[in-house]
């Protein structure tokens, strides 16, 4: 058992401490509920800034917040760091690696994971960007390969170390490409003067006809122009079909020498093995929910955020898998649980944005669309204010100010784990 004490209050088990899970827990924490928050990590991660950790622009600690610190002095919130193996809706029981726990109401907020579309070589050989650990692994790989490139006299072999391919032209791919291009422009000449930065090529492949498909055509075009000014090789309507660890192959037969491929081509629901029945999963491995986020065909089992598939008149193919949907669904469910009501969820689109690089971003608001320096400043403010913890906000702001003034991140360290020698 997970050793949760008995309580006179209704027990709500929340699986996942992402945007949906953490906001629901915060709303219910001081109400008459017993909360059990389950996550495999003991911290909340701010996913929109993973790419800045990977590019050595931010410290990892500045975009995470410890779960126990968030709920200090609240004896009705119980945190368990483990992974969920299965859910038994008949007996209202969650099975984890640490044991079983019973629930009165269950909320699944496990988010999404990288979608490799069944390609095992992509899954094993490419870099994802869905966790802090993946961001650090990518940072280590980029910096380690730059070190190796210094000692490689052969041009073709050196290209494998220094060229980078990004697959997927959504916000993650666009922001990564811009950050890499700025690293090439501002950092390589200072840190690696022995390397010719003009040899470094950054490729961005998008299977569709434009970048940022979820944003306006104007923003897509501005993003493409901005990346091309930074010398990113943008390839539209181009699918990557193979990667063997050394060469990338497109559907047109083009081959590119690159040891690093960053996969940002899509996401799929992070479902729990053996959870519920297959008929409750919709396109993208998302749970089919009604207008109050209850999984259809169940009682008192809810899904929030990226893992939820809710069809509405405005969104017949379900809501976009973005943070604002997760936050708003969590807020609506919290009010329903507190007031014992069934108010249907209605998404209020507050807009979307993506940064391309220094002084460059695109913003789509419901009432206007714009790009440039002001869009970039707005992006900075929104992301900084969305972080949990005043200390994190200050650290991120100071890092960004220092980066802007000096054109330097100063966080380019390769962190490796030391293994004891066998005797």
126 located within any domain: yes
Give me the sign of the Cα torsion angle 127, 132, 133, 136: positive
Query: For residue 16, what pLDDT is reported?
Result: 97
pTM beyond cutoff 0.85: yes
Contact 358, 182 (CB under 8 A): yes
CATH code where residue 58 lies: 3.50.50.60
Q: Does the annotation count 175 as an active-site position?
A: yes
CB neighbour burial string for 101-130, b if at least 16 within 10 angstroms, e if fewer: bbbebbbbbbbbbbbbeebeebeebbbbbb
414 located within any domain: no
Give the phi and the psi of residue 391 in degrees, each rounded to 5: -60, -45
136 located within any domain: yes
Give me the sign of the Cα torsion angle 251, 257, 259, 265: negative
Asked whether residue 153 falls in the same domain as residue 229, the answer is yes
160 located within any domain: yes
367 located within any domain: no
320 located within any domain: yes
Asked whether residue 176 falls in the same domain as residue 276, the answer is no
Asked whether residue 151 falls in the same domain as residue 247, the answer is yes
Q: Domain range for residue 103?
A: 10-114+268-339
- Asked which of 290, 315, 339 is the last residue of a domain, the reply is 339
Query: For residue 274, what pLDDT is reported?
Result: 65
Query: For residue 415, what pLDDT is reported?
Result: 78
Q: CA nearest 324: which of 13, 70, 48?
A: 48
405 located within any domain: no
In this structure, what token pair is assigned to residue 279?
């008929």
Q: Which of 97, 175, 252, 422 is catalytic?
A: 175
Query: For residue 148, what pLDDT is reported?
Result: 96
Query: For residue 185, what pLDDT is reported?
Result: 93
- Asked which of 234, 265, 296 is the last residue of a domain, the reply is 265
CB neighbour burial string for 60-95, b if at least 16 within 10 angstroms, e if fewer: bebbbbbbeebbeeeebbbbbbeebeebebeebebe
4 located within any domain: no
d(Cα 13, Cα 352) in Å, to the nearest integer?
A: 31
Q: CA nearest 111: which of 97, 130, 95?
A: 130
Asked whether residue 241 falls in the same domain as residue 154, the answer is yes
Q: CA nearest 70: which of 91, 103, 109, 42?
A: 42
Q: Please state the domain count of the chain.
A: 2
CATH code where residue 237 lies: 3.50.50.100
Three-state secondary structure call for residue 414 = coil
Residues of the chain with pLDDT under 50: 423
Query: For residue 368, what pLDDT is reported?
Result: 93
- Asked which of 242, 265, 288 is the last residue of a domain, the reply is 265
Query: For residue 422, what pLDDT is reported?
Result: 53
Query: For residue 92, what pLDDT is reported?
Result: 93
Query: For residue 418, what pLDDT is reported?
Result: 62
Asked whether residue 17 falls in the same domain as residue 33, the answer is yes
């Amino acid at each position: 058992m997970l050793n949760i004490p008995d309580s006179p209050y209704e027990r709500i088990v929340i699986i996942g401490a992402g945007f949906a899970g953490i906001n629901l827990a915060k709303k219910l924490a001081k109400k008459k509920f017993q909360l059990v928050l389950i996550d495999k990590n003991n911290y909340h991660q701010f996913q929109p800034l993973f790419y800045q950790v990977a590019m050595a622009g931010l410290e990892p600690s500045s975009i995470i917040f410890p779960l126990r610190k968030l709920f200090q002095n609240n004896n009705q919130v119980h945190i368990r760091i483990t992974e969920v193996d299965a859910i038994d809706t008949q007996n209202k029981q969650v099975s984890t690696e640490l044991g079983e726990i019973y629930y009165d109401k269950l909320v699944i907020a496990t988010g999404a994971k990288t979608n490799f579309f069944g390609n095992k070589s992509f899954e094993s050989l490419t870099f994802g960007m869905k966790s802090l650990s993946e961001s650090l692994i990518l940072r280590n790989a980029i910096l380690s390969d730059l070190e190796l490139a210094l000692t490689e006299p052969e041009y073709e072999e050196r290209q494998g170390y220094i060229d980078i391919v990004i697959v997927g032209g959504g916000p993650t791919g666009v922001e990564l490409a811009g950050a890499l291009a700025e690293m090439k422009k501002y950092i390589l000449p200072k840190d690696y003067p022995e390397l010719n930065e003009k040899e470094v090529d950054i490729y961005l492949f998008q299977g569709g006809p434009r970048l940022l498909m979820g944003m306006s055509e104007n923003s897509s075009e501005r993003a493409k122009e901005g990346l091309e000014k930074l010398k990113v090789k943008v390839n539209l309507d181009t699918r990557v079909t193979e990667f063997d660890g050394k060469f990338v192959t497109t559907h047109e037969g083009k081959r590119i020498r690159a040891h690093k491929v960053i996969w940002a081509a899509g996401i799929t629901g992070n479902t729990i093995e053996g959870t519920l029945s297959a008929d409750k999963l919709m396109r993208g491995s998302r749970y089919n929910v009604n207008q109050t986020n209850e999984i259809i065909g169940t009682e008192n089992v809810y899904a929030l955020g990226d893992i939820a598939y809710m069809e509405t008149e405005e969104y017949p193919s379900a809501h976009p898998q973005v943070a604002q949907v997760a936050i708003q669904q969590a807020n609506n469910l919290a009010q329903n649980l507190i007031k014992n009501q069934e108010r249907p969820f209605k998404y209020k689109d507050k807009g979307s944005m993506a940064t391309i690089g220094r002084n460059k971003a695109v913003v789509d608001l419901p009432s206007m669309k714009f790009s440039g320096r002001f869009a970039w400043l707005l992006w900075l403010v929104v992301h900084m204010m969305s972080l949990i913890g005043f200390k994190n906000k200050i650290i991120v702001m100071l890092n960004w100010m220092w980066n802007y003034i000096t054109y330097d991140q100063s966080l380019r360290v390769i962190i490796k784990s030391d293994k004891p020698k066998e005797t």
